[in-house]
């Protein structure tokens, strides 16, 4: 979401925008996850196991980018997101924000792991955190309660974004004076978001998430078919 | 479930988050005063931010190891290993 803003409105080169956006992903993750850990909603065990697969995916992403065209990757992910958005919309699960991480038992680890690999691939190809794929993967496939899935995905995206961000940063492809206010603003937003998420009516939260999923799907299909 | 792993990870995230924001904020303000060069402070803040997720994985590794949760200690070690590999792969 940050990349189009940086390239279109601030006129930054695409590479610098991706590097800077990855920094804001880490900020979101760090700021919100500490709050989620305090309230016991992020599941560190589930997170670390799935991180194993996302980081592998991110590593494979570099290879995938060589084998397939970026456009075909985008179209296939776009279609996958459309399917997930529909399923989220149909989900009848009642959101309970007092739901804390229980450590399971969760179902279908194989399915969750495979989607985590895909999220990692997507992350390294497009420079995003991939949380919009991890959250529905955990919720719909592994039957993790949505609030725990959101919090755990938040914890995970920091690690996924780190590998990419390190590369851009060490190459000097991050514009620090531009990144500073963005990071400070994101930090404030993430902190307030994690603090207030309990008070948001549950239906609104699901609708907002479906909206974000659809927007991401639309953008990917659009870019892929251009 | 609020065990050792959760507590340690939360502390690491909190300390690094505050430290990096203070450094980034200070560096950003210093850039407007022309008497000091803010960029080293700014850079330091960003390095802390970048290191935070990795530090969190290291913390989890230690916590799981201490609690004898071998399966999860191995998972943490695996994530750390992949992070290191992906960093060096890009260097080539």
- What pLDDT, in 10s, does the model give residues A10-25? 767 666 777 788 888 8
Total domains present in chain B: 1
Query: Is A184 in contact with B28 (Cβ distance < 8 A)?
Result: yes
Question: Which member of B2, B46, B82 has the closest CB to residue A23?
Answer: B46
Query: Is A30 in contact with B78 (Cβ distance < 8 A)?
Result: no
- For residue A35, how many C-alpha atoms fall within 13 Å in the half-sphere facing its CB? 22
Q: Given this model, what pLDDT does residue B63 score?
A: 95
**What is the distance between the alpha carbons of residues B38 and B32, in angstroms, rounded to a whole number?**
8
**What is the distance between the alpha carbons of residues A117 and A123, in angstroms, rounded to a whole number?**
10
For the segment B61-84, what is each residue's pLDDT rounded down to a tens digit? Answer: 999 999 999 999 999 999 999 888
Looking at per-residue pLDDT, the higher value among B90 and A210 belongs to A210
Q: Given this model, what pLDDT does residue A85 score?
A: 81
pLDDT band for position A196 (cuts 50, 70, 90): confident
Q: Is the pLDDT of residue B31 over 90?
A: no
Looking at per-residue pLDDT, the higher value among A127 and A121 belongs to A121
The domain in which residue B40 lies consists of 4-89
Residue A32 tokens, joined: 């919100």
- Residue from B7, B15, B17 whose CB has the most chain A CBs within 10 Å, to mutate: B17
Distance from CA of B7 to the nearest CA of A (A): 8
Counting every residue, how long is chain A?
A: 226
Query: Is A49 in contact with B50 (Cβ distance < 8 A)?
Result: no
Question: Which member of B25, B49, B79 has the closest CB to residue A159?
Answer: B79
- Alpha-carbon separation of residue A94 from A97, A103, A148 (angstroms): 10, 19, 13
């Amino acid at each position: 979401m940050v990349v189009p803003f940086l390239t279109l409105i601030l006129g930054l080169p695409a590479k610098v925008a991706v590097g800077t956006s990855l920094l804001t992903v880490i900020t979101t993750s760090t700021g919100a996850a500490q709050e989620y850990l305090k309230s016991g909603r992020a599941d560190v065990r589930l997170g670390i196991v799935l991180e194993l697969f996302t980081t592998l995916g991110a590593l494979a992403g570099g290879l995938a980018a060589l084998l397939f065209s970026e456009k075909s990757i985008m179209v296939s992910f776009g279609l996958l997101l459309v399917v997930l958005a529909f399923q989220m919309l149909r989900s009848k699960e009642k959101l309970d924000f007092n739901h804390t991480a229980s450590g399971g038992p969760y179902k279908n680890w194989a399915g969750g792991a495979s989607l985590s690999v895909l999220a990692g691939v997507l992350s390294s190809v497009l420079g995003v955190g991939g949380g919009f794929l991890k959250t529905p993967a955990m919720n719909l496939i592994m039957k993790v309660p949505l609030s725990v899935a959101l919090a755990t995905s938040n914890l995970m995206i920091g690690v996924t974004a780190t590998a990419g961000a390190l590369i851009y940063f060490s190459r000097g492809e991050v514009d620090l004076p531009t990144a500073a206010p963005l990071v400070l603003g994101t930090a404030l937003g993430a902190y307030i978001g994690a603090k207030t998420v309990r008070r948001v009516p549950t239906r609104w939260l699901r609708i907002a998430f479906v909206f974000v999923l659809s927007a991401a799907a639309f953008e990917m299909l659009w870019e892929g078919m251009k | 479930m609020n065990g050792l792993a959760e507590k340690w990870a939360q502390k690491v995230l909190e300390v690094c988050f505050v430290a990096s924001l203070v450094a980034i904020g200070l560096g950003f303000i210093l850039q407007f005063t022309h008497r000091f060069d803010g960029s080293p402070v700014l850079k330091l803040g960003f390095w802390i931010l970048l290191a935070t997720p990795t530090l969190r994985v290291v913390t989890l590794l230690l916590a799981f190891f201490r609690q004898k949760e071998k399966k999860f200690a191995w998972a943490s070690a695996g994530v750390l290993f992949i992070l290191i590999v992906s960093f060096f792969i890009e260097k080539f």
